[in-house]
Amino acid sequence: MAEPLLKIRGMTKSFGNLQILKGIDLDIMPGEIIGIIGSSGSGKTTFLNSLIGFLKPDSGTVKFKIPKGSSNDEKNKYQSVYKNQKIIKNFYGFAAQLPSFYEKLTVEENLEYFAEHYNLKKEDIK
């Protein structure tokens, strides 16, 4: 039986007194296609940003399966997206459905902003 590529356990996120995500548990298996649907303000973007490590949830874990042979720690084949973003970004990508740039920023400012999410060195960004 195949193992999940992604394990989410107990993910919660609040902004002030407003709880957006509440105890999400989810496994995503190899070959599965999933969709995230909901009304405006229901937490879709918060969930996806938490899933890729752009936003840290208040509680819970998000762990990705690291391909065999790509880690020195073979016993720990699942890595936290929050603790190991560099490793995770070598194997998994994320693309939004809509253009993901800020119209009030220049092209250069948008590139710098998004490059910082990938922990690129300042000289590499320039």
Q: Residue 51's domain is classified under what CATH number? A: 3.40.50.300
In a domain, 1, yes or no: no
Instruction: Tell me, yes or no, whether 66 and 105 share the same domain.
Output: no
Judge whether residue 95 has pLDDT over 80.
no
Q: Is residue 25 part of a domain?
A: yes
Instruction: Please report which confidence band the pLDDT of residue 117 belongs to, taking 50, 70 and 90 as the band edges.
Output: confident
| Residues 25, 10 within the same domain | yes
Range of the domain at 124: 96-126
DSSP 8-state class, residue 60: E
Q: Judge whether 100 lies within some domain.
A: yes
Clarify whether residues 56 and 117 are in a common domain: no
Number of domains in the chain: 2
In a shared domain, residues 69 and 103: no
Residues 49 and 84 in one domain: yes
Percent of the chain scoring above 90 in pLDDT: 29
Sequence-separated (6 or more) residues with CB below 8 Å from residue 34: 28
Q: Residue 25 belongs to what H/E stretch?
A: strand 18-28
- Whole-Å CA distances, 107 to 16, 93, 121, 124: 32, 22, 18, 16
Amino acid sitting at position 24: I
74 and 48 in one domain?
A: yes
Residues 58 and 87 in one domain: yes
> How far, rounded to the nearest angstrom, does the alpha carbon of residue 55 sit from its chain's CA centroid?
8
Is the domain of 113 the same as that of 56?
A: no
Residue 70's pLDDT is 62
123 and 103 in a common domain: yes
Statement to judge: residues 105 and 81 lie in one domain: no
DSSP 16: T
Give the model's pLDDT for residue 25: 97
Q: For the segment 28-68, what is each residue's pLDDT rounded down to a tens digit?
A: 998 898 888 999 888 998 998 888 888 889 999 999 888 77
